[in-house]
């Protein structure tokens, strides 16, 4: 079962003819187990569905272009201190060409742990990070952020291939409540 978080994309498209929609799909329940309590880990399964509504094919990045984003009760984005382990090499397959009228699902899977005022993230894409959280700024909401700044990547696949024409921009989806239960 999926919870669809709708489209609230702040898209900086390269051309007016580029029509894209970004929709977050969250598993239900959002976290397993839920709610997330202190010193317990929970798995988050989400996906970003990108739909190409233009009349041309567009190349996207699936390589570390999708991150979770946390917003506090006041609507302020909580800073995410993160980094990536370099053990996974990028390949040409990480940059699929999305035909006109087609959709692409970019998965986001990770483990969240709430401990000592931090919400820790360990992503399936080798990204580790944390947000500083407190009960006074709860409830928190989760949304997905897609960001790609490079139009060319490479060399890839043993140094022989360069991928060009990657769509650049940023999109942020609508948010859903993140079920956190702080210790008293």
pLDDT digits (tens, 9 = 90+) for 3-57: 555 443 333 333 334 689 999 999 888 999 989 999 999 999 999 999 999 999 9
The residues with which 27 forms a beta bridge, in sequence order, are: 2
Structure token digits, residue 108: 């986001």
Examine the pLDDT at 159 and tell me if it is beyond 70: no
Instruction: Please report which helix (H) or strand (E) contains residue 142, including its range.
Output: strand 140-148
Residue-wise pLDDT for 97-146, tens only, equals 999 999 999 999 999 999 999 999 999 878 899 999 999 999 999 999 99
Examine the pLDDT at 162 and tell me if it is beyond 70: yes
- The span from the CA of 34 to the CA of 180, in Å, is 8
Looking at 2.70.50, 1.10.520, 1.10.3470, 1.10.3210, the CATH number of the domain 2-181 comes to 2.70.50
For the entire predicted model, the pTM comes to 0.86
User: Are 15 and 58 in contact, with CB atoms under 8 Å apart?
Assistant: no
Among 79-83, 155-159, 167-171, the least confident range? 155-159
C-alpha dihedral over 170, 173, 176, 179, to 10 degrees?
-20
């Amino acid at each position: 079962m999926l919870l669809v978080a709708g489209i609230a994309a702040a898209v900086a498209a390269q051309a007016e003819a580029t029509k894209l929609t970004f929709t977050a799909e969250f598993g239900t329940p959002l976290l397993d187990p839920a709610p997330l309590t202190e010193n317990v880990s929970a798995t988050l399964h989400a996906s970003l569905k990108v739909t190409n509504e233009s009349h041309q094919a567009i190349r996207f990045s699936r390589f570390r272009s999708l991150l979770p984003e946390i917003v506090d009760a006041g609507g302020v984005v909580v800073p995410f201190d993160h980094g990536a382990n370099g053990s996974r090499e990028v390949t040409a397959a990480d940059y699929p060409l999305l035909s006109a009228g087609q959709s692409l699902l970019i998965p986001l899977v990770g483990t969240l742990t709430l401990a000592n005022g931090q919400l820790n993230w360990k992503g399936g894409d080798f990204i580790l990070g944390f947000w500083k959280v407190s009960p006074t700024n709860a409830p928190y909401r989760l949304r997905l952020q897609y960001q790609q700044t490079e139009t060319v990547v490479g060399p890839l696949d043993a140094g022989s291939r360069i991928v060009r024409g990657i769509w650049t921009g940023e999109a942020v989806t609508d948010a859903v409540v993140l079920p956190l239960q702080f210790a008293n």
